[in-house]
Every structure is written in structure tokens, then in C-alpha cells.
């Protein structure tokens, strides 16, 4: 299978059907054999049932996994990646903030063996911001990125560790996520540090990005939990290196 798209979702009944249909259309337009994996992270609405009603061709594999309780974004993505079968795994947030066509050159590079991981970045100068985040979210995002560098040791050249649009070589993704311990928002940081330790070839790429104003992220409310996760990630990576 060419590609697996993993979409974690929590109370996304209003958006998830469209998310699945857009992903399926991408497969058809680019002539890719693919699967869409939706992981419902214990939603209190009908996210899972709505995802199953998506209008897609029978040739597209749709796998909807429902977790009984809310277990964290990292755990939801891990669940989806472990269930994936694609040569390339693309993790994308619900809301279709980035057109999938932006990923195509990097899908090809991963399939050609030239690259292991590709990260969409909202901070590259070539990136086009179609609808920006509110100022408060931008400031908090900058703060958490700096904290990831100083506390957890994220490489400085990575400009945007938290953008919800990342590509992985399939077998590497399944290994990294199988070993990943972090279950919350900062799972990306642990994954990238593990990948760096393994010597994976990682690049960022520019995208067209539109903010999802209906995001489930509550930056102020989550702040202390995120900082705790960063210190936990630092301990995890220190153990790996020793």
C-alpha cells in the first residue's frame, strides 16, 4: 500500500466526514493506493459513526478506530500508526488545514529512499498563511517551541515541531510510535528526538496553511501539563542515550 493517512479526532463530528472525503479524493487524484485511518479519541459526540458515513469509493480503505476513553492525542496517533500498512504514513490533524497536494513531493522522496521524515512548518518563509492563528495562540506556540528546545533538547533547526501534518517512512513510523511513551500533545517532540537518535533523515517543508478556529487545543488550560510532558520527554530521551 502506498500511503496511510492517520487522522486523530476528538469531538470532531462536524468536520470528520469532510476530512475523510478530502483524503480519499487526494488518493484518487494522485492515483495512490491508500487507506484513511480515523482514531476517535473517546469522543462524546458521534465522531466515529460520522466518519464511517463518508462518501468515498470502495477502493479506498477506511478504518475507523474508536477508543473507549479519551487517552490523549499522542496515544490516538500511536494507535493509528500501529494499525497502518502504508509505505508512507501521513499524520494530519482534523480540519484539513493543509492541502494534501503540498505533501506530494515529499511522499515521492520518501518512497524513493531519499528521506525518512518530512515535517510541515508554518514558520518557513516560503509557507503561505491563508488564515492565521489568534495572537494568543501564536505567542503560546512560540513559547512552547522554545521550551521544547531548552527543556527537551529539540534541535534548533526544527522551526515547527507541533504542526499537525507530518510524513514518515512507514516502517520507521511504526517503530518510533511503538516505542513512544508520551500520550499528550508533546508526542511529536519525543518522536523527533527518537528519530534523531536513530539517524533518520528529517526535513521541513513549506505549506499553505489555514488555522482551524474550531481547534480542540486549549493552550492556556494545557500549559502546565505540556511543561510537565517536556520534562518527562527529557527523561525518556536521556535513558535512550544512556
| pLDDT tens digit sequence for 185-209 | 899 999 999 999 999 999 999 999 9
Query: What number of other Cβ atoms are within 10 A of residue 11's Cβ?
Result: 19
- Work out the angle between the directed axes of helices 187-198 and 219-241 (0-180°, nearest 10): 20
User: Are 19 and 99 in contact, with CB atoms under 8 Å apart?
Assistant: no
Q: In this predicted model, which residue has the larger pLDDT, 222 or 96? A: 96
Mapped to the 3 state alphabet, what secondary structure does 50-90 carry?
HHHCCCCCCCCEEEEEEECCCCCHHHHHHHHHHHCCCCEEE
The rounded distance, in Å, linking the Cα atoms of 172 and 200 is: 9
- Decide if pLDDT at 221 tops 60: no
pTM here?
Answer: 0.93
Q: Which residue pairs, CB below 8 angstroms and at least 24 apart, start in 24-32?
A: 24/54, 24/56, 24/57, 24/60, 24/62, 26/100, 26/101, 27/3, 27/60, 28/57, 28/60, 29/101, 30/101, 30/104, 32/2, 32/3, 32/107
pLDDT, tens digit, 9 for 90 and up, residues 40-60: 999 999 999 999 999 998 889
Q: For domain 3-132+160-184+191-214, which architecture applies?
A: Alpha-Beta Complex (3.90)
The rounded distance, in Å, linking the Cα atoms of 45 and 94 is: 15
Mean pLDDT of the chain: 93
The pLDDT score that the predictor gives to residue 219 is 53
Query: What number of other Cβ atoms are within 10 A of residue 172's Cβ?
Result: 18
Q: For the chain, which residues make up each domain, given as ranges?
A: 3-132+160-184+191-214
Amino acid at each position: 500500500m502506498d500511503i496511510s493517512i492517520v487522522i486523530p479526532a476528538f469531538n470532531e463530528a462536524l468536520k470528520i466526514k469532510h476530512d475523510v472525503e478530502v483524503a480519499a479524493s487526494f488518493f484518487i487524484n494522485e492515483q495512490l493506493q491508500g487507506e484513511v485511518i480515523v482514531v476517535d479519541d473517546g469522543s462524546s459526540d458521534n465522531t466515529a459513526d460520522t466518519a464511517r458515513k463518508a462518501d468515498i469509493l470502495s477502493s479506498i480503505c477506511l478504518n475507523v478506530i474508536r477508543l473507549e476513553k479519551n487517552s490523549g492525542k499522542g496515544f490516538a496517533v500511536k494507535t493509528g500508526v500501529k494499525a497502518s500498512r502504508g509505505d508512507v504514513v501521513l499524520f494530519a490533524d482534523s480540519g484539513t488545514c493543509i492541502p494534501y497536494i503540498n505533501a506530494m513531493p515529499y511522499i515521492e522522496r520518501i518512497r524513493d529512499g531519499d528521506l525518512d521524515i518530512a515535517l510541515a512548518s508554518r514558520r518557513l518563509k516560503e509557507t503561505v498563511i491563508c488564515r492565521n492563528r489568534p495572537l494568543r495562540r501564536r505567542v503560546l506556540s512560540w513559547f512552547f517551541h522554545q521550551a521544547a528546545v531548552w527543556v527537551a533538547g529539540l534541535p534548533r533547526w526544527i522551526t515547527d515541531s507541533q504542526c499537525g501534518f507530518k510524513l514518515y517512512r512507514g516502517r520507521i513510523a511504526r517503530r518510533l510510535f511503538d516505542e513512544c511513551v508520551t500520550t499528550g500533545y508533546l508526542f511529536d517532540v519525543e518522536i523527533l528526538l527518537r528519530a534523531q537518535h536513530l539517524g533518520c533523515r528529517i526535513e521541513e517543508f513549506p505549506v499553505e496553511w489555514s488555522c482551524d478556529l474550531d481547534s480542540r487545543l486549549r493552550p492556556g488550560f494545557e500549559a502546565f501539563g505540556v511543561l510537565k510532558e517536556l520534562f518527562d520527554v527529557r527523561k525518556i530521551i536521556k535513558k535512550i542515550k544512556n
